Copies of this chain bind each other. A is one copy, B any other.
Amino acid sequence: MAEITIKYLAQKLNLAPSTVSRALNDSHEISDATKMKVLALAEELNFQPNPYARSLREQKSKTIGVIIPERINNFFSQVIDGMESVTRAYGYHLLVYNSNEDTEQEKNILSLLIGGRVDAIVMSISRFDQKSDHIDKLKKRNTPVVFFDRISTNFPTTKFITNDYEVGYQGTVHLIEKGCKKILFLMLSNENSNGIERLRGFKDALKKKNITFEANWVIECSHSDEKNIALLESIFYKLDRPDGVLASVEKLALATYRALSRTHIKIPEQVRVVSFSNMKIADLLHPPLTTISQPAYEIGEECAKLLIKKLTKKNQPDLEDKIVTIPSVFTERESSK
């Protein structure tokens, strides 16, 4: 019931709290004999130092805050698994928040975290807004921040992404070479950093292949699955329907599948589909989905490694302002045959 404290151990052993503390932290100024005694009792009583007292004193929490825009998403789950694999090894903890693709929530979470609850922050931003003042505020603090996937381009820190441009290009070329002449580019919101890069790859591929891009090929979708499906249905219902789809986000590929199934349009015979996706069961869809999948676990590991290094080593410089690219992998399946 009554928590076991250092003071209690000290009293039991007829030592000063300072001595016990030092013994537990294996300080060189404590004799081996007393160290043994202290460790033995601590072990016996299953002593765990109070993390909050320690945090208060040391001015660090051994906790990293993570903000993602969506939790029910294989990509983000894998990223967090990757992070946890390294943070746990270093005794760090992960506080994970879901901003639900909502800038307002993101702002609230950020202000929660800024109070000193975490030593560092990892985030994938909900919207790539111009007015990201809540993120800019972070600059004034000395809390290290790292971005991944959906990054804030003008915030000076390290960002982890995949080769969005190249792979957007590659996916588009693939569709064209399969015979597509009119390809839709589906994006979630026109303002995400990676979406923009993927779109750039898309456009450049069209140009390279001498297909003239038309503005209405870019479909800006919402976060509502139902709305997206309805929108796509209306598009595919027309006579001069597209014959290819590059979905920049998994959920849009699924919306496409649903829309095409409702309108009885066949994949890949009538429309070929390629999607960015980290789904593990892309091969079990009907038809199996051609994917561009991101190295999610690895991205998580890298984010965590970088922060742990910054937090645990002495005299580390500020996080370098650069973009680290980890390549995605393209897997061809039935949906684009």
User: Does B280 lie within 8 Å of A51, measured CB to CB?
Assistant: no
* C-alpha gap A288/B261 in the complex (Å): 12
* C-alpha gap A285/B283 in the complex (Å): 9
Mask: chain A, 292-327; 1 = CB below 8 Å from B; 0 = not? 000000000000000000000000000000000000
Q: Which residue of B lies closest to A225 (CB)?
A: B280
User: Does A56 lie within 8 Å of B50, measured CB to CB?
Assistant: yes
A contact residues, total (Cβ < 8 Å):
48
Query: In angstroms, how far is the closest chain B Cβ from the Cβ of A268?
Result: 14
Q: A98 contacts which of B49, B72, B81, B116 (Cβ < 8 Å)? A: B81
- Known: A3-B116, A48-B115, A116-B48. Contact between A72 and B61, CB under 8 A? no
Mask: chain A, 249-284; 1 = CB below 8 Å from B; 0 = not? 000001001100100000000000000000011011
Residues of B contacting A114 with CB < 8 Å? 48
| Known interface pairs A50-B116, A53-B56; 7 further A-B residue pairs with C-beta atoms within 8 A, sorted by A's residue number | A50-B115, A51-B116, A72-B74, A80-B96, A285-B285, A286-B287, A286-B288
User: Does B71 lie within 8 Å of A117, measured CB to CB?
Assistant: no
A1 CB–B CB distance under 8 Å: yes
9 inter-chain pairs at a CB distance below 8 angstroms, sorted by A residue, are A52-B117, A71-B84, A72-B74, A72-B280, A94-B96, A254-B281, A281-B285, A285-B286, A286-B286
A31 CB–B CB distance under 8 Å: no
Number of copies: 2
Query: In angstroms, how far is the closest chain B Cβ from the Cβ of A232?
Result: 14
Q: Tell me the residues in window 37-51 of chain A with beta carbons closer than 8 Å to chain B beta carbons.
A: 46, 48-51
* C-alpha gap A258/B114 in the complex (Å): 47
* C-alpha gap A117/B117 in the complex (Å): 12
User: Does A96 lie within 8 Å of B96, measured CB to CB?
Assistant: yes
* C-alpha gap A328/B50 in the complex (Å): 41
User: Does A52 lie within 8 Å of B285, measured CB to CB?
Assistant: no
